Chains A and B, each alone.
Chain A
């Protein structure tokens, strides 16, 4: 028996909206500790990793670990039927479920929707991601980072991110010209302006902006984003989800051949 009830169902809707352009089908692994999901994009350039802790759910029960293979496209069709204020419950009684039940309830419990989504059997190609001590960590407004990526992607497809003790520089070079945006440490009490840099070792890495713009669809999940980098390592972009868990994106760098 598996049942997970999320009080703020809108969070689940936002998560699916944030990943639906990146991955087509995913395995959600349910265990006693909560839900986790890991999937690569079709080109194997990016990887998304979701972890939702059981104590972030209104009700959570998972008698034994199960894997739920979902088509993101079909999942988002069903989630379109959930109101932003609804609670969302996932449920199945079977051990090897062929479908997953969804219940959407409005606040007054006066409207209850029930859907059943057919499940897929997907080979789980999960990667072992070691807990990395990143040498450069940037915490900043997710809206601001999203804006920087959008603006720079009109000049070039790739951005070079260079960190130093007191600032991070986003540089682009394209046919029309070049540009850079430098953001300094800023302990402002305004969220949108605050920038925390923890730079143990400076890094200089290059990434495809197309992927960063896809990751930034997760801005609605958290007002802050963290960029985690080490030389010759994928960038890890993390959106923490209050009281529930985190959505992480990993992006492989581009290297000059």
Chain B
């Protein structure tokens, strides 16, 4: 199965 990654794992908080 696949696990869902989070968007804030790819883009850094400003």
Q: How many A-B residue pairs have CB under 8 A?
A: 59
Among the listed stretches A96-104, A110-118, A248-256, which one makes contact with chain B, having 4 or more residues with CB under 8 Å of it? Answer: A248-256
Residues A127 and B11 in contact, CB atoms below 8 Å apart: yes
Within 8 Å of chain B (Cβ to Cβ): is A121?
no
Chain B residues lying within 8 Å of A250, measured Cβ to Cβ, are 7, 11
Chain A residues lying within 8 Å of B11, measured Cβ to Cβ, are 47, 127-130, 234, 250
User: What per-residue 1/0 map shows which CB atoms of B1-14 lie under 8 Å from chain A?
Assistant: 11111111111111
Residues A252 and B12 in contact, CB atoms below 8 Å apart: no
Chain A residues lying within 8 Å of B4, measured Cβ to Cβ, are 43, 45, 208, 252, 254
Residues A254 and B13 in contact, CB atoms below 8 Å apart: no
Within 8 Å of chain B (Cβ to Cβ): is A190?
no
Instruction: Find B8's partner among A127, A158, A233, A254 (CB 8 Å cutoff).
Output: A127
Residues A256 and B1 in contact, CB atoms below 8 Å apart: yes
- Shortest distance between the CB of A50 and any CB in chain B (Å): 16
Residues B1 and A46 in contact, CB atoms below 8 Å apart: no
Instruction: Find B10's partner among A43, A252, A256 (CB 8 Å cutoff).
Output: A252
Within 8 Å of chain B (Cβ to Cβ): is A133?
no
A contacts with B, residue count (CB < 8 A): 25
Residues A252 and B1 in contact, CB atoms below 8 Å apart: no
Least CB separation from A41: chain B residue? B7
**A residues 101-160 in Cβ contact with B at 8 Å:** 125-130, 158
Chain B residues lying within 8 Å of A206, measured Cβ to Cβ, are 2
Chain A residues lying within 8 Å of B3, measured Cβ to Cβ, are 254-257
Residues A127 and B12 in contact, CB atoms below 8 Å apart: yes
Instruction: Find A234's partner among B1, B2, B10, B12 (CB 8 Å cutoff).
Output: B10
Query: Beyond the given A43-B4, A252-B9, could you list 19 further A-B residue pairs with CB under 8 A, ordered by the A residue number?
Result: A40-B7, A40-B8, A43-B6, A44-B7, A47-B11, A125-B13, A126-B14, A127-B12, A127-B14, A128-B11, A158-B2, A233-B10, A234-B7, A252-B4, A252-B5, A253-B5, A254-B2, A255-B3, A257-B3
Point out residues on B near A: beta carbons under 8 Å. 1-14
